[in-house]
Amino acid sequence: MSDLPRKAVTRTAKLAALPLGFAGRATWGLGKRIGGKSAEIVGRELQQRTAEQLFKVLGELKGGAMKFGQALSVFESALPEEVAGPYRAALTKLQEAAPPMPTRTVHAVLEERLGTDWRELFLEFEDKPAAAASIGQVHRAVWADGRDVAVKVQYPGAGEALLSDLNQLSRFARVLGPLIPGMDIKPLIAELRDRVSEELDYALEAQAQHAHAEEFADDPDVVVPDVVHQSEQVLVTEWMDGVPLSEVITEGTQEQRDRAGQLLTRFLFSGPARTGLLHADPHPGNFRLLPGDKGEWRLGVLDFGTVDRLPGGLPPTIGDSLRMTVEGEADAVYEMLCEEGFVKETVDLEPEAVLDYLLPIIEPAVADEFTFTRGWMRSQAARVADPRSPAYQLGKRLNLPPSYLLIHRVTLSTIGVLCQLGATVRMREELEEWLPGFVPETIEDAEGAEETANEEDAIERTGGLEEAAAEA
């Protein structure tokens, strides 16, 4: 492909063809049924053909279409193995690459944003992109000071393409729903659309990445490349090698899988506590495994274009409700869910039924260690997607408050990646360390906090008196 398809009519035609294709395959499926094939077999064939066409079109279009494809791809663990297997490679390709932008276009953007003498900023610049994503592509280069760098160049017209795609996709969200059982596609598209302006703003991305790079600078487990230079539509960061997580998923050792899963879980919960930011794009293309100094793998993290700003870290409500669910406090959990808006005032549910709905989902948080598998993910998806099940009926009556939407999606996406990895993870260990409210506050903790507060007050008062004395 020679350029990002920007004309609205071209992009709309490609996306509009998707539901028509789905309808055509449904007719084909009906013919197969009449011919004697079982509904289950025909349904799987339809799902497979639909997914193949969907990801092919999304990959070609980049923009919001590809962004949506990447968000969907982490949930492939929820699909039946016979369906997921044949196009897993296509999903991985979507996570890692897309057709490149022409060299002349890249040079034009660099000249416009960095100046006519942009080449003087680099000792070397590779015209062939090292990676491509939904709104930009990355080129490897050597900065003027000799550092290896990654130069992210935004596609011209990416903003219009993002909005156009997501608006079009939202019109037939219900048609796409069956691809991922148990997941409501429309809120996912709406949330992606709400994040468009942030995703396009490389200044915000640079701030978020630098904050993480600074915080994790000496971390033995997590590596974040720092920002070298930023201007509109161009972001230059330190280059980071390593094994892409997509490769670990397809051919990594169990040791690599377990280590990647543990560190991914640690980063998910420790990031907000340490930086006040939640990395909100956890698909495998954004992570690497790097060899560490002591022989253990480290997790490299890329792409901070989408973050959730959580100045106080993750809401304590999450930790409190998880702890109380584990402890079987049905009434207390239900009361908290009502207070936070997860249960609307017009809805009346049985607290015990809510607890039964939640317990299987939080199973990984209860065990000392838990092995995430595609089978477990599929069982959870089937449980909440089967209209005949009590879990489905209850789930439809629960509400997800807007302030929790991104946290919910990131958590689900991370679990999807853990299931792709087949990783054995000590999740409870990370929750106890990083999630506020998960470990009950003891009397000693409360007394210690009060003591610290009193000491701070005393210091503040003393400081005030000293200032007054000095002025006198």
pLDDT per residue of the chain (472 residues) written in tens, 0 to 9: 334 444 444 545 555 555 444 434 333 333 433 444 444 444 455 556 666 666 566 655 555 555 566 566 555 555 655 555 544 555 555 545 456 788 999 999 999 999 999 999 999 999 999 987 667 899 999 999 999 999 999 988 777 777 776 776 676 666 665 555 555 667 767 777 777 778 889 999 999 999 999 999 999 999 999 999 999 999 999 999 999 998 999 999 999 999 999 999 999 999 999 999 999 988 888 999 999 877 899 999 999 988 999 998 999 999 999 999 999 999 999 999 999 999 988 889 999 999 999 998 899 999 999 999 988 988 888 888 777 888 888 988 888 887 888 898 899 889 989 999 999 999 999 999 999 999 987 644 545 545 554 555 554 544 554 454 444 4
Are 285 and 397 contained in the same domain?
yes
pLDDT on residue 52: 62
pLDDT on residue 13: 57
Domain-terminating residue out of 141, 173, 196: 196
Are 254 and 179 contained in the same domain?
no
Burial of residue 456 (CB within 10 Å: 0-12, 13-18, 19+) is exposed
Are 191 and 251 contained in the same domain?
no
- Domain count across the chain: 2
The C-alpha atoms of residue 460 and residue 79 are separated, in whole angstroms, by 58
Are 294 and 177 contained in the same domain?
no
pLDDT on residue 349: 93
Are 262 and 171 contained in the same domain?
no
CA 312, 192, 233, 90 dihedral sign is positive
Residue 112 lies in a domain: no
Residue 123 lies in a domain: no
CB 191 within 8 A of CB 406: yes
Residue 156 lies in a domain: no
Residue 299 lies in a domain: yes
For residue 68, the one-letter residue type is F
Are 187 and 292 contained in the same domain?
no
Residue 51 lies in a domain: yes
Strand ranges for 203-268 from DSSP E: 222-223, 227-231, 234-238, 243-244
| Cα–Cα separations (whole angstroms), residue 97 to 78, 91, 159, 303 | 23, 10, 19, 14
Are 62 and 170 contained in the same domain?
yes
| Cα–Cα separations (whole angstroms), residue 392 to 247, 399, 441 | 35, 13, 34
Are 422 and 342 contained in the same domain?
yes
CB 234 within 8 A of CB 110: yes
Are 188 and 253 contained in the same domain?
no
Residue 105 lies in a domain: no
Kindly state the greatest CA–CA separation across the chain.
Answer: 99
Are 189 and 332 contained in the same domain?
no
Instruction: Name the pairing type of β-strands 297-301 and 222-223.
Output: parallel
pLDDT on residue 160: 74
Residue 309 lies in a domain: yes
- Residues of the domain holding 55: 8-97+161-196
Domain-terminating residue out of 141, 175, 196: 196
The C-alpha atoms of residue 264 and residue 416 are separated, in whole angstroms, by 12
Residue 128 lies in a domain: no
pTM for the model: 0.76
Are 181 and 271 contained in the same domain?
no
